[in-house]
Structure 1
Amino acid sequence: MCAISSVANSFLQNQQCLKLTRRSASTEVAQLASAGGLVGFWQTLSNSTPVAYMQDAVTQIHDYSGLPWWASIVLSTFIFRSAVTLPLTIYQHKITARLEKITMEMPAIVEELKREAAIAKQKFKWSEKHTQIIFRRSIKKQWQKLIVRDNCHPMKTIIVLWGQMPLWIFQSVALRNLVYMLPDPTTLKAQIIATELTIGGFGWIPNLTVVDSSYILPVALGLINLGIIELQSMSRARKPTRLQNNATNVFRVLSIVMVPVACTVPSALCVYWVASSSFGLAQNLLLLSPEVRRAVGIPKTETELQQPYAQIWHKIQERAYIAEVPAKPSDKTAAK
């Protein structure tokens, strides 16, 4: 009797959660409708073919693995990122390394072109302005030849963005659909999945259809994203440009902004976002290793860190004022 009563109570609680989930979905749709054209965009994205495939893939991983929903979300995240973003990131590192190598070839080429331009100026009686035009045109032509030779167009350095952003959006919308029983809340499959999500959590978030009221996952998300940005900043061998500093600051702000956003979405989305960011952090740490870089075919460059983990740890200590910061030559001179 106690067991039956427990099952009955669990069933009633799940039905209550389903009603609340439907009410939340209706409220969200109503809010989107008041936003005018935004509802059309969300409906189109929610009903799109890529989202449907992603939704089905996540469901299949859960069914075949037999894992609870939170673990299925983490597993699917690692699978998709390993299949899509990891190869693209390795390819991006290869392109960046090739670009650095041809950049090192350019000074000798520029000097040769300077000599040729000076000879041509005297021979053909060119003006200074015309000589400079021909000189710059020749440099651009030689740069293009090197890019074609090594197949490393600079636009390829943002290839990860074109793979990771759609993946992140499609999986986020797919999980949102599962939580809100979209695109058709009347189907039995959608209702079963939504019920499973209400008991498919862990620890302090047993119900994945509600927000994480403890704010543990949102704060963890912000910290991990900040960790990725700081890791990329500290792994630069050269002094960052003003543009790079501005971009770093923008991403720092976005990482902080994501925390209150994560506080308003179902925990299923938070679990996915934290898992995705954790994979990104581990991926960046792994690809700092010279051994790993050689193993995946990334060429060695002059700016590559030889002892990346020791150097990054020292930079962390410097930022925390634990290790002594080496004095600059100007500082030593001033001290004398």
Structure 2
Amino acid sequence: MKCRIFRRRLGTCTSVGMDYGWGPTSLVQWVVEHIHIYSGLPWWASIVATGILTRLVLAKPVIDSMETANKVRKLRAITQPITQRMWHFQRVGNTLEVAKARAELQDIHREHGVNPIKGFLPLLIQIPIGFGTFRLVRGMAALPVPGLATEQLGWLSDMSLSDPFYILPLVAATTIYFNLRLSAKQTPPGSILNSPMAPATRAIIPAISFIAMSWLPSALQLYFTTTGAMVFGQSWLLSFPKVRQALGLSPLAVEPTSQGTNTTSGPQLRLIDQMVEAQRARAMGQTPTASEQQPADMNVSAIDRMMANIKKNLAEARRDATERLNQITGQDQQAYNADGSPAPPPRLSKKDLKVAAEYQRRRQEEEDALREERNHARREAYLRAMEQEQQQSGAQAWRKHRKTPARKL
């Protein structure tokens, strides 16, 4: 009898109509129910424990993926020209050179221990599990499952309803923001997290996630908040050199900085240094540069500076989007000869070619107009000649008629 009751309790979700068949949702449901039964935890704690368990299971694949991205970041200076050459030959249809470039890339990756599969493996696992958890918890809150609506935690009195104070969505959005900032240091420079669009991305994605999570059940909000905090903690720990050394990971790739730039000093110290350099240049009779002239205007309000930064970020984002579009379409790619050597640049620039094409179009229109004018003049001359010929033939016929005597009746 106890065995039958125990089995019935394990199938609580199925018994109330939550039968998802086979798939990630059923797998997550099986894990949540077993944690709930065997540990005695409430439903919300079982859901959170499932998220923690998932992150622990995926710890090794996630670390391998981050290590792969770090290696790709270091090899970008070597692989980017080869990738551009491969894209060029792919557009022109030279399959032999494409195969050579792809084999060269594979050799470089193999030599440095880069496995592209490790970079995508965590996503292939996280996406179905995350979708299954979202589908399961939303279904549990919609019924609701017996016991979920009566569970309480702090200011939350009903786990099937959303957070009335929007605290959990705000915390989850904050963790997403800091995760994006940390991920920018561990991804290749070509990604969107390291482009001029990064500030806008770090602002838009957390805002969208906050709006989307505000209407979810509290149990699901707790799940996203917990997993987001674990992702942030994992990325934060892996940013320390000692932790990476203990785990046998390579040091993080550092982007080269321009010489003479003091990256450790704060903005106030940099302003003071620039003002000193500007005064020194004026004393020596030199013209200060634009960067040295900038601190002279210290009366700009905070709102004006913020608007200037926003305009600057938008301009950089527009320029980055244009460069990416040109890179995809191949308009900024360097031309190559048939043997793979770089071709010399064209003699005329794009602006010169555009001006030449416009001049050729105008000349063609002028020639067409002149040709039409000549044709019209020829048609007019022909019609006048025909009219004169008709008049002459008519006059001759009249004179001939006058000279002919009339016939007698």
Same-fold status (TM-score > 0.5) = yes
Distance 2:65 2:137 in 1: 29
Question: What displacement does 1:159 show?
Answer: 3.3
Q: Can you list the C-alpha shifts for 1:277-307, whole angstroms capped at 9, x where unaligned?
A: 1111111111111122122221235529xxx
What's the counterpart of residue 249 of structure 1?
200
Question: What displacement does 1:211 show?
Answer: 1.6
After superposition, the CA RMSD in angstroms is: 4.1
Call closer, same or farther: CA 1:251–1:79 in 2, change over 3 Å.
Answer: same
**Match of residue 162, structure 1, among 97, 114, 124:** 124
2:161 and 2:217 in contact (8 A); partners too? yes
**Match of residue 62, structure 1, among 13, 17, 36:** 36
2:61 and 2:118 in contact (8 A); partners too? no
What's the counterpart of residue 221 of structure 1?
172
Question: What displacement does 1:326 show?
Answer: 3.8
Q: Which has the larger radius of gyration?
A: 2
What secondary structure is seen at the aligned counterpart in 1 of 2:146?
Answer: helix
1:229 and 1:252 in contact (8 A); partners too? no
What's the counterpart of residue 176 of structure 1?
138
Call closer, same or farther: CA 1:152–1:70 in 2, change over 3 Å.
Answer: same
Distance 2:97 2:46 in 1: 59
Call closer, same or farther: CA 1:226–1:204 in 2, change over 3 Å.
Answer: same
Q: Which amino acid aligns with 1:227?
A: F
What's the counterpart of residue 87 of structure 1?
60
Question: What displacement does 1:267 show?
Answer: 1.0
Q: Which amino acid aligns with 2:216?
A: V
Count of aligned pairs between the two proteins:
247
Distance 2:250 2:116 in 1: 16
Q: Which amino acid aligns with 2:55?
A: R
Call closer, same or farther: CA 1:97–1:201 in 2, change over 3 Å.
Answer: same
Distance 2:269 2:97 in 1: 44
**Match of residue 72, structure 1, among 43, 46, 69:** 46
What's the counterpart of residue 118 of structure 1?
none
Question: What displacement does 1:324 show?
Answer: 3.6
Higher-helix-fraction structure: 1
1:230 equivalent in alignment to 2:177: no
Call closer, same or farther: CA 1:176–1:303 in 2, change over 3 Å.
Answer: same
Structure 2 unaligned regions, length at least 5: 1-15, 83-94, 256-262, 278-287, 294-409
What secondary structure is seen at the aligned counterpart in 2 of 1:198?
Answer: coil
The TM-score with structure 2 as length reference comes to 0.50
Distance 1:243 1:272 in 2: 25
Q: Can you list the C-alpha shifts for 1:305-330, whole angstroms capped at 9, x where unaligned?
A: xxxxxxx9x89xx6xxxx64646998
**Match of residue 217, structure 2, among 266, 275, 279:** 266
Q: Which amino acid aligns with 2:54?
A: F
Call closer, same or farther: CA 1:166–1:248 in 2, change over 3 Å.
Answer: farther
Question: What displacement does 1:81 show?
Answer: 1.0
Q: Which amino acid aligns with 1:81?
A: R
Distance 1:170 1:74 in 2: 14
Call closer, same or farther: CA 1:203–1:297 in 2, change over 3 Å.
Answer: same
**Match of residue 207, structure 1, among 158, 162, 180:** 158
What's the counterpart of residue 287 of structure 1?
238
Higher relative contact order (CA 8 A, sep 6+): 1
Question: What displacement does 1:167 show?
Answer: 2.0
Identity of aligned residues (%): 21
Q: Which amino acid aligns with 2:194?
A: Q
| Segment drifting more, 282-291 vs 249-258 | 249-258
Question: What displacement does 1:231 show?
Answer: 2.9
Call closer, same or farther: CA 1:149–1:328 in 2, change over 3 Å.
Answer: farther
1:99 and 1:154 in contact (8 A); partners too? no
Distance 1:229 1:68 in 2: 32
Distance 2:74 2:211 in 1: 42
Distance 1:254 1:170 in 2: 22
Q: Which amino acid aligns with 1:143?
A: L
What's the counterpart of residue 122 of structure 1?
none
**Match of residue 99, structure 1, among 72, 91, 100:** 72
What's the counterpart of residue 308 of structure 1?
none
Q: Can you list the C-alpha shifts for 1:60-94, whole angstroms capped at 9, x where unaligned?
A: 1122222233332222211111102x222211122
What secondary structure is seen at the aligned counterpart in 1 of 2:244?
Answer: helix
What secondary structure is seen at the aligned counterpart in 2 of 1:157?
Answer: helix
Distance 2:187 2:141 in 1: 45
1:200 and 1:208 in contact (8 A); partners too? yes
What's the counterpart of residue 53 of structure 1?
27
2:36 and 2:42 in contact (8 A); partners too? yes
Q: Which amino acid aligns with 2:140?
A: L
The TM-score with structure 1 as length reference comes to 0.60
| Segment drifting more, 149-158 vs 249-258 | 149-158
